[in-house]
Structure 1
């Protein structure tokens, strides 16, 4: 089998139309990529990040012995979108697999802690190796804010601790906490796909028995009066500030916390809001401007 890829570069406002157009022409899947190397803030769980200029790619399967009428597809697209740059290519099955998988490599978080794509061999078999399917939901360890949270978890004493992961995405932080010794992790996300991804990655790593994950209403009902020894939230500055009073109720006196998804210019505002409830002990920066804010819950 061969695969046909059709790439169309469009403005952000044209993305929905382009996706619909490609799907109407039989695309098996449609992917979105940055066309201008533009940085994005880490999205809220459930949101799809969009760049100003986007490469929309439709994937078509060509069975052995069959031919896709590429000219007709391209002519039709150009008639609908005459000003949009368009290119296409065929790739073989094996090359298609490599095109996707080669984007991921093991990530070393600390001396004894790695994130490893599930199809790869761990570089250090004796280390804590978190196996991850990067395709399930947002959060692979590559993003600076995710890396900062993983790094913080790796140096935090999690032995027999209760941990909350708020905005869990792929579940990478929740699973990491369990592999690093947490007794129980409660995780939540507003996106049902993230809940499923977290469950699947927990099962992949053999830690599902010590994890609860659910949507916020279910999470609140399950948690009840339980408070965390360790709390981590990797979302965005706006939601972090809005949720600060709620987060304060979820953390024990002297409990440890880390917040990420914050850029350098937002640190002061976020810290000012959290200083009502938490002692800010450290601000760590990565990749020029992404920051992690960490500290302890004030006695109450």
Structure 2
């Protein structure tokens, strides 16, 4: 089947309403992008956590409509405009070339090399280094593929410290895809590894990923974790979330660290580090272990 894109430039105030009307008028899909993309006037829509723009919309928007090639494109636009009570906007048409969309999507995800020996490899690729620590992991709904600096920082910390500390147990709080728990398991041999996340879909994804990678990790929702391990403490606790939740969870996370155990936190911007360090100061001293692209990993030991 062939498709055509209908490209319409509209003002900020009309983008959302017109998009909905276009779907009702027969569009297969509608996306909105910055009409000034690639120019000096390009407008960032999303900022770093805590520094987001006040309004998540572009001043000039480009609405891109996907329609069947033999659809009445003029009618789709005019009917949508009529439903919105606005004049029919100017638009252009552009063909969508037939492609192998699965292969095209897969080509965007290459193996990721992290630290010295860790490789995150999509299932459609061969492992680049057969002697490395290989995680077979496809992009999915749960956060954690190794591409984000916060995930990489935690993985690099684990690669160095798990073999040195030889922990008997490790807790990955906010486990997402399970990537940190799996790295810890592969590095720690027979150590007990537990992952916790508030999202049931993340728990399902983490269990699936761990089974694929032959990693024996126990995953829980927070309420189930509390019920099944009320008094359990861990040699290493790692949490890759965001600074706000990390500060609120300081008492809980510190209560899960065994005497002499380590805590590693990420999801923290460099300018947020001192606030997070202060939130944990009454339990243990944290310091910046490493920084990548403006994000930091904090680490400390419970005496």
TM range (shorter): 0.7 to 0.9
Deviation at 1:12, TM superposition (A): 9.6
Deviation at 1:236, TM superposition (A): 0.9
Unaligned 5+ runs, structure 1? 44-49
2:248 to 242, 248, 259: 242
Does residue 148 of the first structure (1) align with residue 156 of the second (2)?
A: no
Does residue 115 of the first structure (1) align with residue 120 of the second (2)?
A: yes
TM-score (norm 1): 0.77
Alignment of 1:48-197 (within 5 A): 52-53=57-58, 67-77=70-80, 80=84, 89-94=95-100, 96-157=101-162, 159=166, 161-181=168-188, 183-197=191-205
Match of 2:289 in 1: 283
Inter-CA distance 37–231: structure 2 relative to 1 (3 Å threshold): same
Match of 2:221 in 1: 215
Separation (CA, whole Å) in 2 of partners of 1:178 and 1:31:
41
* 2:176–2:197 contact (8 Å) kept in structure 1: yes
**Comparing 240-249 with 155-164, which one deviates more in the overlay?**
155-164
Separation (CA, whole Å) in 2 of partners of 1:115 and 1:267:
28
Match of 1:200 in 2: 208
Say which SS state the counterpart of residue 92 (structure 1) adopts: coil
Say which SS state the counterpart of residue 254 (structure 1) adopts: strand
Q: CA offsets per residue over residues 30-62 of structure 1, 9 Å max, x none?
A: 77888645564469xxxxxx95549887777x6
Match of 1:259 in 2: 265
Say which SS state the counterpart of residue 157 (structure 1) adopts: helix
Q: CA offsets per residue over residues 142-169 of structure 1, 9 Å max, x none?
A: 1111111111111122545311111112
Deviation at 1:83, TM superposition (A): 7.8
Separation (CA, whole Å) in 2 of partners of 1:270 and 1:122:
37
Inter-CA distance 203–225: structure 2 relative to 1 (3 Å threshold): same
Deviation at 1:222, TM superposition (A): 2.0
Deviation at 1:75, TM superposition (A): 4.3
Say which SS state the counterpart of residue 198 (structure 2) adopts: coil
Say which SS state the counterpart of residue 231 (structure 1) adopts: strand
Unaligned 5+ runs, structure 2? 38-42
Separation (CA, whole Å) in 1 of partners of 2:99 and 2:73:
18
Separation (CA, whole Å) in 2 of partners of 1:178 and 1:234:
17
Separation (CA, whole Å) in 1 of partners of 2:18 and 2:174:
30
* 1:78–1:84 contact (8 Å) kept in structure 2: no
TM-score (norm 2): 0.77
* 2:22–2:76 contact (8 Å) kept in structure 1: no
Structure with bigger gyration radius: 2
Say which SS state the counterpart of residue 188 (structure 2) adopts: coil
Separation (CA, whole Å) in 2 of partners of 1:137 and 1:11:
34
Separation (CA, whole Å) in 1 of partners of 2:10 and 2:265:
34
2:279 to 256, 273, 283: 273
Deviation at 1:23, TM superposition (A): 5.9
Q: CA offsets per residue over residues 201-231 of structure 1, 9 Å max, x none?
A: 1122122xx2121221112112221111111
Inter-CA distance 83–67: structure 2 relative to 1 (3 Å threshold): closer
* More RCO (CA 8 Å, sep 6+): 1
